[in-house]
Amino acid sequence: MSPAPELAARATRWPVGAEVRAEGGVAFRVWAPAHREVAVVLEDRSGKTLVERPLQSEKEGYFSSVVAEAAAGTLYRFRLGGDSDCVPDPASRFQPSGPSGRSQIVDSTAFSWSDRSWTGISIERQVLYELHVGTFTTEGTWRAAIDHLPALADFGITTIEMMPVAEFAGRRGWGYDGVDLYAPSHLYGTPDDLRRFVDRAHQLGLGVVLDVVYNHFGPDGNYLRRFSPRYFSTRHTTEWGEAINFDDDAAPVREFVSANAAYWVDEFHFDGLRLDATHQIFDTSPTHVMAEISARARAADPRRSICLFAENETQDTRILCPIEQGGYGFDALWNDDFHHAAGVALTGRREAYYQDYGGTAQEFLSMAKRGFLYQGQRSSWQRQRRGTPTHGLEPQRFVTFLENHDQIANAPTLGGERIWQLSSPGVYRALTALWLICPGTPMFFQGQEFASSAPFLYFADHAGALGDAVRRGRATFMHQFRSVASRDAIDALPDPGADATFQMCKLRESERSAGGVRTRLQRDLLRLRREDPIFHRPFAGDWLDGAVLSKQAFVLRWFADDPHTLWTTESDSRDRLVVVNLGLELQIDPAPEPLLAPPAGTQWAILWSSEDPAYGGAGTGPLEQEDGWRISGQATIVLHARPI
């Protein structure tokens, strides 16, 4: 006989799913308010029914029971009402045959962790690395990816940001069309393979953050409506289809998602989450679901600190405000402004959403000091105001990047080329230096560390009408870029559904092992960022200032913490001056800008230059000469004060 509903509910740590009990059997719990009865069906691999047990009804549409015959590894599905067919568990912990197959019971306590001394991460001094498991290695698995973690740690990466892994339909995809939020994709290995990846990362001192999608569910392999239409909003839609319902009699849906955030932190030891497209998470409730997600994720494991990141196209800094002040309690936001301005400076193209940027000295100076460029001004592309003020927010709370998965695939090119392939070597070196020296939180995209030539294209695996719709949608999206808007160009776009499109995106092992001048450049910059006493210190007060020298040249000055250090003999404790020139060689005579003046009793000396021959540059002469300042073109130069 099944236990009472109250006992079954207490038998589960999470609100829904199948959980192995230490005393034997498995506790099942599912939310299915569209039905009066639900049964769990245990099956063998051929689909033969072994056991079928009814679940007992609880309040608010939940059903639960403990089934003695079930154990770790058992395959199961749910029978809803009197339906003849069965469906997978919407909170399945593993789908070994994909989202339309049988769910499999996983014992989350069976894995032996070795990271008990790991205390988590904070936002300070992070260097992120975005990774897509399926293309990061030839094998495309967590086990294969583990072998490359030592090299990333040695390079200077501090935290991996893993693109979404929730189970999705097809044999390949970016992961943003997940349908089983609790099930790591079977394409990359088993749940314990994922745990093994995180555990090894922690051994090497690397954090791991997971990208999650809480704005929509994927269209293929999605059985949620069979359990209840209340999973989906009747008031909102997203760019990708039906919005998740968070504000219309939606308490169980809110719990389903907020518990999912805690689940990844607790059972897989992730050091945080990156929430995709949060501007498409719609909630008019008094407490926004993002605040609930934040609170629940942070409470999942009190022994460890986590970081929460958000992508938000509207640049809403309320996301970064503490919950007690009406915010959502996140740690950092992606800074698309930096990417777009850098993209214009690197390529000269100002198409579509790049039209609001000029890649100018003033833009980079403003972003170095204030994070976002758009903080409420009108966007000509969007024809409305964009952004919110960043006053009082520390610079590390803005994630900057030259590349990410979206921006490589969605660039105004046909082949998903990397940004270094579209720019001159000098400008690329100079902007890379600015990016890694500036006080935002930098994020690499996989392969960027060794100048990978592998493209990153949009790929998916949908059949029939859905596949056709994806191809049409991709072509429609690319029409916004003038340079690829012709019919011939659109027809030449790589087919998102072709296996060849996916295969060409895999990183190439020969390039990974070769290294080169770009690897040396970035490695040295990360060392400078990490070890220099001025660049490494905590940010406080008026520690950073800057000035425009020309349309494409500017200076940034990092001031020492203590003004008395101006008079010491320890030059490493004095100010740093970073001179950036993205244009032609510049001569300034006279030089009335006060920031160019060295501290009293000192003179500027070159500490680092992007034009060092070791990086493929032409060398750098003294900047301050008898006839004024002479600044090399397409260069970033770091100066420190040396006693006269």
pLDDT at 332 over 90: yes
pTM confidence score: 0.95
The contacts found for 244-249 with CB under 8 angstroms, 24 or more apart, are 244/214, 244/215, 244/216, 244/217, 244/281, 246/281, 246/282, 246/283, 246/285, 246/289, 247/282, 247/283, 247/284, 247/285
Domain range annotation of the chain: 5-104, 128-526, 540-643
Decide whether 128-526 matches 540-643 in CATH topology. no
83 noted as active-site residue: no
* Tens digits of residue pLDDT in 569-610: 455 668 999 999 999 999 999 889 999 999 888 899 999 999
pLDDT at 502 over 90: yes
- Centre a 10 Å sphere on the Cβ of residue 547 and count the other Cβ atoms it contains: 15
pLDDT category of residue 470 using cuts at 50, 70 and 90: confident
Residue type, 375: Q
Question: Rounded to an integer, what distance in angstroms lies between the CA atom of residue 487 and that of residue 131?
Answer: 33
Cβ neighbours of residue 223 closer than 8 Å, sequence gap 6 or more: 87, 88, 90, 99, 179
What are the helix and strand counts (H, E) for the chain? Answer: 17, 29
* Tens digits of residue pLDDT in 545-574: 999 999 999 999 999 865 554 444 455 668
CA angle (489 as vertex; 487, 491 as ends), nearest 5: 70
Burial environment of residue 376 by CB neighbours within 10 A (0 to 12, 13 to 18, 19 or more): exposed
Instruction: Assess contact for 131 and 162: CB atoms under 8 A.
Output: yes
324 noted as active-site residue: no
* Tens digits of residue pLDDT in 71-88: 999 999 999 998 889 999
The fold for domain 5-104 equals Immunoglobulin-like (2.60.40)
User: Which residues are bridge partners to 79 per DSSP?
Assistant: 39
**Which is nearest to 318 in space by CA: 367, 283, 363, 353?**
283
From 19, 311, 406, 612, the catalytic residue: 311
In the prediction, which pLDDT does 588 show? 93
Count how many residues are written for the chain: 644
In the prediction, which pLDDT does 492 show? 77
Q: What is the DSSP letter of 212?
A: E
Task: Tell which CATH classification among 3.30.70, 2.60.40, 1.25.40, 2.30.30 matches the domain 540-643.
Answer: 2.60.40
Distance linking the first and last C-alpha atoms of the chain: 89
Q: Residue 568 — φ and ψ, nearest 5°?
A: -85, 170
Calculate mean pLDDT across residues 517-522: 96
Question: Rounded to an integer, what distance in angstroms lies between the CA atom of residue 116 and that of residue 102?
Answer: 34
In the prediction, which pLDDT does 567 show? 44
* Tens digits of residue pLDDT in 105-140: 999 999 999 999 999 999 999 999 999 999 999 999
In the prediction, which pLDDT does 9 show? 43
From 276, 356, 403, 461, the catalytic residue: 276
Calculate mean pLDDT across residues 389-401: 96
* Tens digits of residue pLDDT in 91-101: 999 999 999 99
Instruction: Assess contact for 631 and 581: CB atoms under 8 A.
Output: yes
Phi-psi region of 253 (alpha: psi -120 to 50; beta: other; left: phi over 0): alpha
Question: Rounded to an integer, what distance in angstroms lies between the CA atom of residue 126 and that of residue 140?
Answer: 26
The fold for domain 128-526 equals TIM Barrel (3.20.20)
